[in-house]
Homo-oligomer: A and B are copies of this chain.
């Protein structure tokens, strides 16, 4: 099993969720985050003062998936979340040693 983590633009969430659901992915966890990268920050001005906001709002999606679905998932996310403009985000894949469904205690693939 792998834990696929994707940092995406906030307005792409619904599209990504739908595409993943279409693949049969039944669960995911999302958190708000702020990203710093090549995409330039934005400057806000309040009265005289300028504040450069270096961190831009992003969403982080975490999905635990079976090994054999990882490529498909990466492919899907990277297609759906792509706008082609800088700041589209990243996908990171980590090895997942165990997964447990709290409600039932099931582990491994059954837990997903």
Q: Enumerate chain A interface residues (CB-CB to B < 8 A).
A: 2-3, 6-8, 17, 26-38, 54-55, 58, 60, 64, 74, 77-78, 81-103, 105, 111-112
CB pair B96 A92 closer than 8 Å = yes
Beyond the given pairs A27-B38, A95-B95, 5 more chain A to chain B contacts, judged by CB atoms under 8 angstroms and listed by A's residue number, are A17-B54, A31-B31, A74-B98, A82-B103, A91-B99
A34 contacts across to B, CB distance below 8 A: 29-31
CA distance A102 to B31 in the complex (A): 18
Chain B contacts for A17, CB-based, 8 A: 36, 54
Residues of B within 8 A of A91 (CB): 98-100, 102
A17 to chain B, nearest CB (A): 6
CB distance from A57 to the nearest CB of B (A): 11
Q: Which residues of B lie under 8 Å from residue A102 when comparing CB positions?
A: 6, 8, 77-78, 81-82, 88-91
When distances are taken between beta carbons in the complex, the residues of chain B under 8 Å from A93 are: 96-99
Contact B78 A64 (CB under 8 A): no
A26 CB to nearest chain B CB (Å): 6
